[in-house]
Structure 1
Amino acid sequence: MPNIGYESAGFQPALAGLNGGGVLTCTWPQLVWAAVTVGKAFGDEAAFGVFSTFERIHRSSLLYAYLVEAPSGAIMKADTYLGADPSEKGNISYSLGMTVAKLYSELLLSTPRLLHYATYAGGYAITTGAGGSRPDLIGLTSTGDWVVLEAKGRSNALEAGVVATAKLQSLQILTIDGLPPVCRVGMAAYFAPSGLRFSVEDPVGGGSRKVDITQDKFAMRYDSALRRLIQTRTPNASRRIAGHQYLGAEYPEADLFLSIPEDQMLDRGRMLDDTTYLGRDGLLIELGSSWREGKMLLQPQLR
């Protein structure tokens, strides 16, 4: 199974168990779920139509095209990544940093919903304090707490100062819906010789920006964007997975099936089988045959 090493520091007593670091074990369905779901909210479709959906699906393709799994489970740069030009590597590492942030939030922070702060600060009546620096993401945990994340991505080793800069950006938020975030996380994903890793810190303090958005509105904007992923594909497809029937959308160009089960009693945040993950946010993602066992151990051109 894929694994990502990490180091973690600075979390206060309520989250002190996160300090120290270790190895985050995951699956390719979880990684693809993270890539597809991180970030934008309902409203970008109004501006850009189906192209916003294409952008989400494209993130999954980046994982397939540029990463390879080592026999140890470490996630390495594929030959295609090594051969990319600097600007391409910048785009890949940025997307990978956001994906790792979403995966970390899901698996260790119990935060299934994240939205881009900058994209929606103006359009959704989010008021801010002075200053140009701001974090990437705000999130809502399963227990109703707020989190703030600034996520960086690097194609090579983690240079000095990257996490410090991320921490400063994460500190800019004072309150969300009148409440201080339970953590303000600065993190950076990077490639060590041993494979993909990330470093994360929760600094002490808070800035002057106040985000005026309720939990209900935040969840609605996130959930509406997920539903758009299903609605853009007609006719709807059907799959039988682990004894249940799911109605959803096929994306053959990325070899994905997506569904939002209506059954609220389903246990979320778990693998349903080897190829299917049901996220805590309610989005089910099944990977097709091109992602199946052993394929990601091969270079992309050999799969």
Structure 2
Amino acid sequence: MPHRNRFTAACRPIAFPAGLISPNAVLEFTTDDLAHALFATGRAPGDEVRHGWASVWEFVHRTSLIPAYVRRTRGGALVKSALARELDRSEKGTLSYSLGQALTGIFCERKLGVTHLLHIDRYGSRWGVVFAATKKRADLFGLSPTGWVVAEAKGRSNGMEPALPNTLVAQKRSVKSISGKRPWLALGCVAAFPPHRHELSITAVDPDEEGPEPVDVDLDLDRYMLAYYEPFLAAIAAGTPQVRDQRYLTSRLGLLDLRVGLRKDIAARVQQASQGQLSGLYDSVVELLDSGVELDEAATAFPDGTLVGSDWTDAISLNDWRF
């Protein structure tokens, strides 16, 4: 992506294993990264038979928040537009929550190597899995090279409360196991806008103990992979087909100025799984991804085999954010 579309945000890690993340970490990302993370961390399943295009409408809603309310300073910081500051409390909450999820997704990919971060409710809704009733359950989970990562995403429209980092440290792990295995990391990630600078910053905390009622997630890896990719196929089907690269199945969502794609070999295998050939999907996708990431000059190719290209340069460059 062009340099003018790249954001940088200070990242403060707390209580992570020594040497895992630099105490002066910086997270770099683009509008493509934001759009991809908003899609991947969405709650709505992509099963069109039972849920129609719910995941597509959710994606359209969440990604439209970026050109509408997000701006970039000359220095690369992410700030909110003047219109975003005029939203009512509930609308600000929606924007903050979405940014919190997006930045949690980007953090988990860049710093922890999680390529398929999934909303736990998407998996539950897709497969009829009922989890124990608790208000403290984490939002997201995904597999890293070292093991499972569980993440709770938070967003703040202003600064983070002074006590929140300590609260997150004290907050216990809400997921005890995934497929019988204890998560490698269980973190809380907060995206906030400190009032003295109004620029996005990230605080990530790794609580090291389990809570009083931790959840066991009985997960099937093939179902996990299908739940992850189905919304991408739904979005591609909803858009206008494009054939700019023979390696990808792509389409354009015109009003959003957004291009979405998936490698054709992975798309074909996922489509087979959605039609009943589910067994072995996880291993098949991992094997295909091991062949490497296919590059595309007009968009960002992600480690999960998807492609996202946003054309929001004019929108995020507007100077309607100055205080």
Provide the TM-score with structure 2 as the length reference: 0.80
User: What SS class does the counterpart of residue 112 from structure 2 fall into?
Assistant: coil
Alpha carbons of structure 1 residues 168 and 55: separation in structure 2 relative to 1, 3 Å: farther
* Unmatched segments (≥5 aa) in structure 1: none
Indicate conservation of the 8 Å contact 1:11/1:18, yes or no.
yes
Distance 1:167 1:38 in 2: 23
2:302 aligned residue: 279
Distance 1:58 1:131 in 2: 27
1:12 aligned residue: 17
Query: Is residue 80 of structure 1 aligned with residue 100 of structure 2?
Result: no
Following superposition, the deviation at residue 88 of structure 1 comes to: 1.0
Distance 2:184 2:157 in 1: 30
In the alignment, which of 220, 224, 234 is matched to residue 214 of structure 1? 220
User: What SS class does the counterpart of residue 133 from structure 1 fall into?
Assistant: coil
In the alignment, which of 153, 160, 176 is matched to residue 178 of structure 2? 176
Distance 1:251 1:300 in 2: 26
Indicate conservation of the 8 Å contact 2:43/2:121, yes or no.
no
**Structure-to-structure mapping, 1:145-294, within 5 angstroms:** 145-166=147-168, 171-192=173-194, 193=197, 195-207=199-211, 208-233=214-239, 236-240=241-245, 246-262=248-264, 264=288, 267-268=292-293, 272-273=296-297, 275-288=298-311, 291-292=312-313
* Unmatched segments (≥5 aa) in structure 2: 1-5, 266-287
User: Once the two structures are superposed, what CA deviation does each residue of 1:230-285 show, in whole Å capped at 9, x if it has no partner?
Assistant: 12336x22224xxx6643111001001111012546643x9743x51111121101
2:137 aligned residue: 134
User: Once the two structures are superposed, what CA deviation does each residue of 1:114-146 show, in whole Å capped at 9, x if it has no partner?
Assistant: 2222454476365655744211111122x2721
AA aligned to 1:278 is: A
AA aligned to 1:199 is: T
Distance 2:16 2:243 in 1: 43
**Structure-to-structure mapping, 1:59-74, within 5 angstroms:** 59-74=62-77
Distance 1:70 1:271 in 2: 28
Provide the TM-score with structure 1 as the length reference: 0.85
In the alignment, which of 91, 94, 99 is matched to residue 94 of structure 2? 91
Alpha carbons of structure 1 residues 214 and 245: separation in structure 2 relative to 1, 3 Å: closer
Indicate conservation of the 8 Å contact 1:6/1:23, yes or no.
yes
Indicate conservation of the 8 Å contact 1:151/1:188, yes or no.
yes
1:56 aligned residue: 59
Distance 1:155 1:280 in 2: 30
Alpha carbons of structure 1 residues 203 and 267: separation in structure 2 relative to 1, 3 Å: same
User: Once the two structures are superposed, what CA deviation does each residue of 1:82-126 show, in whole Å capped at 9, x if it has no partner?
Assistant: 121211111110111011111111211111212222454476365
Following superposition, the deviation at residue 162 of structure 1 comes to: 3.2
Q: Which moved more, 1:151-160 or 1:117-126?
A: 117-126
What percent identity do the matched residue pairs reach? 29
Alpha carbons of structure 1 residues 184 and 153: separation in structure 2 relative to 1, 3 Å: same
User: What SS class does the counterpart of residue 203 from structure 1 fall into?
Assistant: coil
User: What SS class does the counterpart of residue 134 from structure 1 fall into?
Assistant: coil
AA aligned to 1:298 is: L
User: Once the two structures are superposed, what CA deviation does each residue of 1:170-224 show, in whole Å capped at 9, x if it has no partner?
Assistant: 6111110111111000111001215101100111112431100032321221122
Following superposition, the deviation at residue 148 of structure 1 comes to: 0.4
Work out the number of aligned pairs and report it: 289
In the alignment, which of 101, 108, 111 is matched to residue 108 of structure 1? 111
Distance 1:239 1:21 in 2: 40
User: What SS class does the counterpart of residue 213 from structure 1 fall into?
Assistant: coil
Alpha carbons of structure 1 residues 167 and 281: separation in structure 2 relative to 1, 3 Å: farther
Query: Is residue 23 of structure 1 aligned with residue 29 of structure 2?
Result: no
